[in-house]
Structure 1
Amino acid sequence: MVRIAVPAEEEMEPRVALSPETAKKYVKLGCQVVIEKGAGARSYFPDHEYENAGAELADSAEAALEGADLVLKVGPPTDAQIKAMKNGAVVAAMLEPYGPRGTIDALAQQGVLAFAMELMPRVTRAQSMDVLSSQSNLAGYKAVVDAAAAFGRAMPMMMTAAGTVPPAKVFVMGAGVAGLQAIATARRLGGVVSATDVRPAVKEQVKSLGAKFIAVEDEEFREAETAGGYAKEMSDEYKRKQNELIAEHIKSQDIVITTALIPGRPAPRLISADMVKTMKPGAIILDMAAERGGNCELTRAGEDIVHEGIRIMGPVNIPGKVPGDASSLYARNLYAFTELMIDSESGAIKVDWDDEIIQGTALTRDGAVIHPVLTGEKE
């Protein structure tokens, strides 16, 4: 019987890696599910719902982890949690593979098989396992809602006997999963929306949502996408032309949502301090890339500042602001992934190392760090 452990996350992380819904599914697979007491409380999953789903409650993380074959987490495990894991245990979590190596090295030294959910290959059969998409979708929604709440004017056009209130102009920078959801949410709230991205493939998606597409559409633009669907780093010349276009466009915007990220690198700088100075008093910039250095030069991660009348918001862990839904979706992603490794016939963990999904996400094996991103074999 596979023993599954779910320790509580650290204080700054309100999400949880297991929902009562997925706990029930694991139990149906024949697994023993043990979750630390209170682990789901901040996601609005009380302990009794896990018990009703067939899970057991543990008094501490160490008690939950004792003898566990499979460990489910949102963020990286702590040093104490790693030490409580047995040799050969499997860990599935968002392990921040592009960050400091300490945790990953510790997992390897412990003899743990660690899988980073952020590295999920972008293949059709892995769509149900894609945590970046599920969490970014919610983040794009929440970013617009928070920006609208901070905005000192109305979002939609309003016609009254005293006159007409014009709709807010919303500019979304980056049209990935988060950006597209931000566009859709801003449109639902009545904003006049425009968006930009360096990937030509998203132009039609932006337009289909009712937003205007803003970009320098030259030859470099037409080739600006990796095989994995991410944005490429653009040339200095392209950046100069794009910056000129954005600088002119941003002057008239009421709310700017920035979402641009490049895996393994600091967030690209899209808004300079000089651009901020040209914006209208009371305008809002919400920088969704704050945790990675920010798309705006003036962004401070975790802070909400006002610079010369412009409010610059640098939220961190935006999906964690809607923890109930974020946890439910993340738990389903984890279930879809870990189900691949649970052999119903033998009742044991069985890892298929020939599976491209396993290969794409595995960070450690047999005491060593093995992923090409971390071994220097791949950028």
Structure 2
Amino acid sequence: MTIGVLNEPNPETRVSLLPEHVAILTKWNIEVIIEEGAGSSAFANDDKYAEAGAIIGKRQTVVNASQIILCINPPASSDLQSMENKTILGVFQPLFNYRLMQTFASQNTTVFSIDMIPRTTRAQSMDVLSSQANIAGYKAVLTAANLYPKYFPMFMTAAGSIPPAKMLILGAGVAGLQAIATGRRLGAIVEVFDTRPAVREEVMSLGAKFVEVEGAADPGSAGGYAVEQTEEFMQRQKAKIAEHVAKADIIITTAQIPGKKAPVLITTEMIEAMKNGSVIIDLAAVTGGNTELTRNDQTVIHQGVSIVGDSKLASTLPSDASKLYGKNIVNFLQLLTDAEGNLNLNFEDDLVKGTCIVHEGKIVNKRVSELIGIFPNK
């Protein structure tokens, strides 16, 4: 079997496999072909790939020669015709890009969207959302520190005392927990809000204060993700968040609900109550953002408050981001290959089945199919 790795479009800097991952696959009797320059932004040049056993080729050669094609972002429309009867693996957000899934189906491609892998213990080593969110949470705090016009830690000097920065984190998932750890290392006082009471211990173990609003809907059926809440709870939540937003110097927002627009947790009115020079980093920008003023891939300054909409912070550390992502992919590829290195799609495996969106010209993921049924003309 041959696996091909495509060069990602700008501004993406990550690559699906690094040379260290190629070396693993070649031992499995799998041939790997890399598009020219695919790893250059992640500091992996073509020579390193060749040393690891990969073949270097032009884009069309990679597509034509490969049974499995790896690309983090959806391939360009100009590539799709050449991908007929291929298996494609990447991060395609099919609950938002369900029209693209229909296009894949019309090309008779098989599509695995690794961001849809079930959140189970067995899947942890393949969970790209977690591995990349960890990086995003870390970099969000560093980005805020660069924009914030004051110190993070407390300083006591002969010239006077500097109070520590107050940081509020909305959402204690992987990104939020890493943001807590990073903020605390830099000396900030950290408060954390999450609708899941179960994360209280994790938050407190990292040295942050947990802010709780009673009456949240049980997230137990959502596989660890946040769930939609009642209107009554939302009102109580809004009041509690407003109270803490007004005191915060730095806010990191991470709240997302799979297949839904990100919940708006911070209103314009709340932002206007913040101090000049305060910074908000919104990691949910790609799905609408957690503030009313968030714009994806933009920094908005409103009455002295900077609102940074950035869902691609993992790409700002391309070497380690690619290292973790590639390991996730290698682990998942083990489920798609047999002992001789041939393609073997076992849909009896819950991870294979849960991650597959399109197969044999049909959309096989129930949630994506339902979305197309609900919005047939959009």
- Is TM > 0.5 for Structure 1 vs Structure 2? yes
Letter in 1 for 2:147: A
Per the alignment, residue 360 of structure 1 pairs with 354
- Kindly provide the amino acid, as one letter, of the partner of residue 68 in structure 2: L
Contact 1:4–1:71 (CA<8 Å) still a contact in 2? yes
Q: Runs ≥4 in structure 1, deviation > 4 angstroms? A: none
Q: In the alignment, which residue of structure 2 is the partner of 1:20?
A: 19
Report the counterpart of residue 77 of structure 1 in structure 2. 75
- Post-superposition offset of 1:102: 3.4
Of 206, 209, 215, the match for 1:209:
206
- Answer yes or no: is the 8 Å Cα contact 1:34–1:57 preserved in 2: yes
> What value does the CA root-mean-square deviation take over the aligned residues?
1.5
2:236 alignment partner, SS class: helix
Which moves more between the two structures, 316-325 or 26-35? 316-325
1:278 to 270, 273, 289: 273
Is 2:256 the counterpart of 1:256? no
The unaligned stretches of length 5 or more in structure 2 are none
> 1:200, 1:224 within 8 Å by CA — same for their partners in 2?
no
Corresponding residue for residue 156 of structure 2: 159
Aligned mates of 1:53, 1:353 — CA distance in 2: 31
Using the TM superposition, give the Cα deviation of residue 125 of structure 1 relative to its aligned residue in structure 2, in angstroms: 1.4
Residue-by-residue CA offset, 1:264-316 (whole Å, 9 max, x unaligned): 01110000011011111111111111111110111111111211111111124
Matched, 1:322 2:347: no
For residues 335 and 4 of structure 2, what CA distance do their matches in structure 1 show?
17
Identity %: 42
> 1:344/1:224 Cα in 2 relative to 1: closer, same or farther (>3 Å)?
closer
The CA deviation at 1:225 is 4.3
Residue 213 of structure 1 deviates from its aligned partner by 0.6
Q: Corresponding residue for 1:184?
A: 181
What runs of 5+ residues in structure 1 fail to find an aligned partner?
none
SS at match of 1:35: strand
SS, match of residue 155 in structure 1: coil
Counterpart residue number, 1:29? 28
Q: 1:236 to 1:358 in 2, by over 3 A?
A: same
Aligned ranges 1:1-379 → 2 under 5 Å: 2-58=1-57, 60-87=58-85, 89-217=86-214, 220-221=215-216, 223-345=218-340, 347-376=341-370
Contact kept? 1:303, 1:314, Cα under 8 Å: yes
Letter of the structure 2 residue corresponding to residue 244 of structure 1:
A
- Give the drift of 1:222: 6.6
* Further displaced range: 308-317 or 354-363: 308-317
When the two structures are superposed, what TM-score results if normalisation uses the length of structure 2? 0.96
Contact 1:66/1:86, CA 8 A, preserved across alignment? no
| Secondary structure of the structure 1 residue equivalent to 2:221 | coil
The one-letter code matched in structure 1 to 2:359 is: R
Question: What is the aligned length?
Answer: 373
| TM norm structure 1 | 0.95
